[in-house]
Amino acid sequence: MKRRAFLETSTSAALAASASGLALTSSAPKASAGEFTGVIRKACKFSMVNEPDLSIEDKFRMLKDIGYDGTELRAGDVEKQAEFIKAIEKTGLPVHGVVNSSNPDITAAIEFAKAVGGTSVLFVARYDRKVPFMESWKSTQETIRQALPAAEKHQIKVLVENVWAGFLISALDTVRYVDEIDHPWFGSYFDVGNNVRWGVPEHWIQLLGSRIGKLDIKEWDEKKHRDEGLRAGFSSELGEGTIDWAAVRQALKDIGYQGWATAEVGGGNRDRLADIAQRMDKVLGL
């Protein structure tokens, strides 16, 4: 299958070059670099920030100060596009992408991502259980195909994420889904934690390979899942569950992954977000 190399652009190219020099906190710089420092860039979903007294600009400044290399917006944030652009310009913290969930208007999200300097749109392919499986397969692929001319025009990659929609729940399904579309501006947004209910993260990474455009990061705890119920599996903090992060790192190294990894966990205030940043450093080797 013909594929272009993943193109990574941002509002400030200098930020990408200096990502490894960012401090975890303003008063406590990182003591040492990990194997993925400067290779994987660390972000959190902007929706995780719970500091209601701060402006958007001050929230961006805080994220940069506690060690994040960037953040990711939601498609609904377009209403404050001008404020986000100003925050990016003032702080130097990039927005690397836009989460569009299952909204079929992918083109609008692409245009928003382009405006804020992002490089991707996250799309969730939903399973309509009222129709045959392959109807959902083909209809969601068609929705994606309709947006690909805009993706190519603006150089924004559309990335389909593996979620708990009961659809694309195996790595081979995802490989087939991506390969059938076979477009250089389409790929996989791989969520390390979402797949554990059905599979093994490092095995998915090995199979998806270069199809992976970006990563979402969350933990999974199989013991809590068994003892406390289905969604309790997500309740452990990063690094305290049952994901084999060493194996995940090795798989990412084996496929030569470079790019963004974005926390998608319960957010909070500055201290909470700083703790998440430090945990990401540990599990990802940053």
DSSP string, 205-272: HHHHGGGEEEEEE----HHHHHHH-GGGGG-SPTTSSS--HHHHHHHHHHTT--EEEEE-S--BSHHH
Question: Model pTM?
Answer: 0.88
Side chain identity, residue 181: I
Residues of the chain whose pLDDT is less than 70?
Answer: 1-32
Of 144, 75, 149, the C-alpha closest to 115 is 75
Contact criterion met (CB below 8 Å) for 158 and 111: no
Tell me the C-alpha distance between 200 and 277, whole Å. Answer: 24
Number of H helices, E strands in the chain: 10, 8
Tell me the C-alpha distance between 243 and 202, whole Å. Answer: 9
Kindly report the three-state secondary structure assignment for every residue of 153-194.
Answer: HHCCEEEEECCCCCCCCCHHHHHHHHHHHCCCCEEEEEECCH
Burial 202-232 (b: 16+ CB within 10 A, else e): bebbbbbeebbbbbbbbbbbeebbeeeeeee
Domains in the chain: ranges and CATH: 13-284 (3.20.20.150)
Angle value at C-alpha 237, between 234 and 239, nearest 5 degrees: 110
Contact criterion met (CB below 8 Å) for 204 and 216: no
Residues 6+ apart with CB under 8 A from 82: none
Summarised one tens digit per residue, pLDDT across range 88-97 is 999 999 999 9
pLDDT at position 225: 77
Provide the CA 286 distance to its chain's centre, in angstroms.
16
Which structure tokens are listed for 190?
């791989």
pLDDT at position 231: 79
pLDDT at position 201: 97
pLDDT at position 165: 80
The DSSP bridge partners found for residue 262 are 43, 216
Please give the DSSP secondary-structure letter assigned to residue 131.
Answer: S
